[in-house]
């Protein structure tokens, strides 16, 4: 089972780098598998540490994909790093080993600390729709236009019926990004 999180790693100058990323468990171990090339991967290779933020703030996910990466952070307990301030829970992990791969190395990590901050508020369809749309946006150059349009049309129903302000903002950022991509052939993510 894959969980979608927001991962925080530290850049070389110790500033936080924030990016949406999936992870899964293999027994007690956390597996993180970033595609090459990406900053999260370089940071993980250099530091061997990361924080998985389990957040329901989908504006952070949409924001990261549209060049809005300056989200408030807070200190963590057991590694060099930081967590998102707005997260339901966070998991601090340390890589035990890396399984090398030219496209997508796997970091096998131990959990060194985990902490809950706020209660889960319940499922929301608009949040799911924003996550799905964010994945589409991260793959715009590889997906046919008709497929992207059809999926966006379907996902929009959940936004129209169930979104709060945060989800509407996230959706608007993603739709702007789709339009900008089509106007100017921008890359997949900011």
Ligand X SMILES: Cc1cc2nc3c(=O)[nH]c(=O)nc-3n(C[C@H](O)[C@H](O)[C@H](O)COP(=O)(O)O)c2cc1C
Decide: 10 and 59 in contact? Cβ < 8 Å: no
- 3-state secondary structure at position 49: strand
Minimal distance, residue 35 CB to ligand X, in Å: 4
| Residue closer to ligand X (CB basis): 22 or 56 | 22
Minimal distance, residue 69 CB to ligand X, in Å: 8
| Residue closer to ligand X (CB basis): 40 or 87 | 40
Decide: 56 and 46 in contact? Cβ < 8 Å: no
| Residue closer to ligand X (CB basis): 33 or 54 | 33
Q: Could you say whether residue 134 binds ligand X (CB under 6 A)?
A: yes
**Site map for ligand X, 152-171, x if CB under 6 A?**
--------------------
Q: Could you say whether residue 120 binds ligand X (CB under 6 A)?
A: no
Q: Which of 111, 112, 135, 175 is in the footprint of ligand X by CB under 6 A?
A: 135
CA atoms within 13 A on the CB side of 62: 25
Phi and psi, residue 148, nearest 5°: -60, -45
The DSSP bridge partners found for residue 53 are: 6, 90
Q: Could you say whether residue 126 binds ligand X (CB under 6 A)?
A: no
Say which residues have a Cβ less than 8 Å from residue 158's Cβ, sequence separation at least 6.
Answer: 125, 126, 128, 129
Decide: 134 and 174 in contact? Cβ < 8 Å: yes
**Site map for ligand X, 24-63, x if CB under 6 A?**
---------xxx--xxx--------------------x--
In order, the DSSP letters of 72-99 are -EEE-SSSS-EEESS-SEEEEEEEEEEE
Q: Which of 10, 16, 21, 163 is in the footprint of ligand X by CB under 6 A?
A: 21
Decide: 68 and 145 in contact? Cβ < 8 Å: no
Q: Could you say whether residue 186 binds ligand X (CB under 6 A)?
A: no
Of the candidates 41, 33, 43, 166, the residue with the CA atom closest to the CA atom of residue 106: 33
Minimal distance, residue 144 CB to ligand X, in Å: 19
| Residue closer to ligand X (CB basis): 33 or 93 | 33
Chain residues that interact with ligand X, rule: CB under 6 A: 4, 19-22, 33-35, 38-40, 61, 65, 131, 134-135, 138, 189
């Amino acid at each position: 089972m894959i969980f979608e999180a927001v991962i925080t790693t530290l850049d070389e100058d110790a500033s936080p780098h924030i990016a949406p990323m999936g992870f899964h468990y293999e027994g007690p171990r956390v597996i993180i598998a970033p595609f090459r090339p990406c900053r999260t991967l370089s940071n993980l290779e250099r530091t061997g540490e990361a924080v998985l933020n389990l957040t329901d703030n989908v504006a952070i996910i949409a924001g990261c994909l549209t060049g809005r990466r300056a989200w408030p952070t807070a200190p963590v307990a057991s590694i060099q790093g930081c967590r998102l301030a707005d997260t339901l829970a966070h998991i601090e992990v340390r890589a035990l080993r890396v399984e090398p791969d030219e496209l997508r190395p796997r970091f096998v990590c131990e959990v060194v600390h985990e902490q809950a901050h706020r209660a889960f508020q319940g499922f929301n369809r608009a949040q799911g729709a924003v996550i799905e749309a964010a994945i589409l946006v991260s793959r715009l150059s590889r997906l046919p236009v008709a497929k992207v349009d059809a999926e966006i049309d379907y996902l929009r129903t959940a936004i129209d019926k169930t979104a709060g302000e945060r989800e509407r903002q996230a959706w608007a950022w993603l739709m702007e990004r789709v339009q900008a991509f089509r106007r100017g052939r921008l890359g997949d993510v900011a």
